[in-house]
Amino acid sequence: MRYVAFLRGINVGGRHSLAMSDLSDLAQAIGLLDPVTYLQSGNLLFTAPKQAAASLSSRLAESLADAAGFEIPVVVRSAPQMALVAERHPFEQLASQPKELFVMFLSGLPSAQDAAQLDPARGGTDVFELIGQELYLHLTSAARTKLSVDYVGRVLKLSATARNWNTVTAVAGMLAEH
């Protein structure tokens, strides 16, 4: 089965540098097959047995922490999961450009109680919709939004990482091709 691992906070703003070649090498060292990186921001595509899916995030996070010397939250999605994510963005019609669309990938399914704590007014003109383990966002200015990964992670009590719509659709396409 093909998967993608989204690493949070890699090579952003000069912090937590990690060469993508090192990421690929590390993936191979822990038994992941055919690792391919996309961009420099911690997107790793790979093949692994379907039965290993439950432990992929933790295995990668532990290995990365050992190798890099700092903790890196990791969220993993399978090729079928990514195909579903790429098929539906509830705000696609609102966006004047794809750069206004984002998906926040969550490390698990939030509880209904925690999900209810997300404040729709917090974003002002920015809006979100939670569907399963993904938070879809339409952000008029990603740099200034108050719907940050830190805010969402804190409220939902989960790890989260965000990708723009171009990255989401590119990764889903790459997974479908393999």
Q: Where are the domains of the chain?
A: 2-81, 85-177
Burial class of residue 29 in the structure, from the number of CB atoms within 10 Å of its CB (0-12 exposed, 13-18 middle, 19+ buried):
exposed
- 85-177: same fold as 2-81? yes
Tens-digit pLDDT string for the chain (178 aa): 999 999 997 765 566 788 889 889 999 999 999 999 998 888 999 999 888 888 999 999 999 999 888 889 999 999 999 999 999 899 988 888 889 999 999 999 999 999 999 999 999 999 999 999 999 999 988 889 999 999 999 999 999 999 999 999 999 999 999 7
Q: What is the pLDDT of residue 95?
A: 81
Q: Which CATH class is domain 85-177?
A: alpha beta
Which residue is it, tokens 């903790």? 71
Q: What is the pLDDT of residue 19?
A: 85
Q: What is the pLDDT of residue 12?
A: 59
The DSSP annotation for 95-164 comes to -SSGGGEEEEEESSPPPHHHHTTS-GGGGTT-EEEEETTEEEEE-S-TTT-S--HHHHHHHHTS-EEEEE
CATH homologous superfamily of 2-81: SP0830-like domains (3.30.70.1280)
Tokens of 103: 């998906």
Query: Would the pTM of this model clear 0.85, i.e. be above it?
Result: yes
